[in-house]
Structure 1
Amino acid sequence: MEQVKKGDTVQIHYRGRLEDGTVFDSSEGRQPLEFEVGSGQVIPGFDTGVTGMEPGEKKTIHIPAVEAYGPRHEHMIMEFPRDRFPADITPEEGMTLNMSDGQGQVIPVVITEVKDDVVLLDANHQLAGKDLIFDLELVSINGQGKSKIIMP
């Protein structure tokens, strides 16, 4: 039977959870996730985890933080002056906002604390620093991700 290898486009159902059992994402009720293995479309540990699977196979993989969204970085937590918030936004802990880096790049941030004069914003990915567990079911292998042109 065919096994997943780098360059294959695959369809896979998944359920992602944290070590405490909290589910953070799932394809349940949706189309399976489709991606090209080894292309950087998914986190490195996910690519590694599906490699070698066969259609119909189910398995659980454990991905350490370093192969997922990396470690948390303290330098990605910043203070933002409260008086620089738009008048129509009342900052609240847990609120997610999008900031611009001045070069057109949008960076999602989460408000972690609201003080009298500043608001603490965390630009770390919400799953940074966390080990992840994925329950996988390989639906299909659709061959090489890149089309080949055959000249007559």
Structure 2
Amino acid sequence: MTIAKNKVVAMHYKLTNDGGEVLDSSEGRDPLYYLQGHGNIIPGLEKEMEGKNVGDKFSVSIEAKDAYGEYDEGLVQNIPREQFQQFPNLELGMKFHIDSNFGPMVVKVDEITDEHVTINGNHELAGVRLTFAVEVAEIREASEEEIAHGHVHGPHGHHH
């Protein structure tokens, strides 16, 4: 069976940046399961997975625009410190869910001064070229429910 839209795919992977630093890996864990063609993984990797078969091993570099996007300075804002009074233990790296002009998003605290708090809505890997070493472990037909919901169900997938 070949990877195509509406197939459930299980893959082992190692994710590195251009410096060779391992950012994530399935080593020692179950493979990652996803539904091909439904945006469950970054676009560049989903495109590269198309047409692969069980047992295929490959390495691919994905440019930032096809991964988590380019870094957007417009998603970095300085907010007056007094707007964070309800958070007496505010720390660098804290994350908040906010409603923005772009819809709901997660922002991270990048800087704290007496006057302001800098929040950043960029994904932590925005602007980063990513390299994946992949091994295709399993491919199966997706159920009608999985296709309707746009993600994998059951073991190793989403549970309702």
Query: Which segments of 5 or more consecutive residues in structure 2 lack a partner in the other structure?
Result: 146-160
What TM-score comes out, normalization by structure 2 length?
A: 0.80
Q: Matched residue of 2:111: which SS?
A: strand
User: Which segments of 5 or more consecutive residues in structure 1 lack a partner in the other structure?
Assistant: none
**What SS does the aligned partner of 1:101 have?**
strand
User: How many residue pairs get matched?
Assistant: 144
Which of 137, 140, 145 aligns to 1:142? It is 140
Q: Residue in 1 aligned with 2:44? A: 45
Q: Deviations over 1:71-127 (max 9, x none)?
A: 11111001122122245543333x121132179x65322222222210111110111
Divergent runs of 4+, >4 A: none
* Secondary structure class of the residue paired with 2:144: coil
Structure (1 or 2) with the larger CA radius of gyration:
1
Alignment of 1:2-151 (within 5 A): 2-93=1-92, 95-101=93-99, 106-143=104-141, 145-147=142-144
* TM-superposed deviation, 1:15: 1.1
The alpha carbon displacement at 1:50 in A equals 1.3
Q: Distance in 1 between matches of 2:85 and 2:114?
A: 16
> For structure 1, which segment, 60-69 or 81-90, has the greater mean C-alpha deviation from structure 2 after superposition?
81-90
Could you say what the CA RMSD is over the residues aligned between the two structures, in angstroms? 2.1
The one-letter code of the counterpart of 1:70 is G
- Secondary structure of the equivalent of 2:46? helix
- Evaluate the alpha carbon distance shift between residue 78 and residue 40 of structure 1 in structure 2; reply closer, same or farther with a 3 A threshold: same
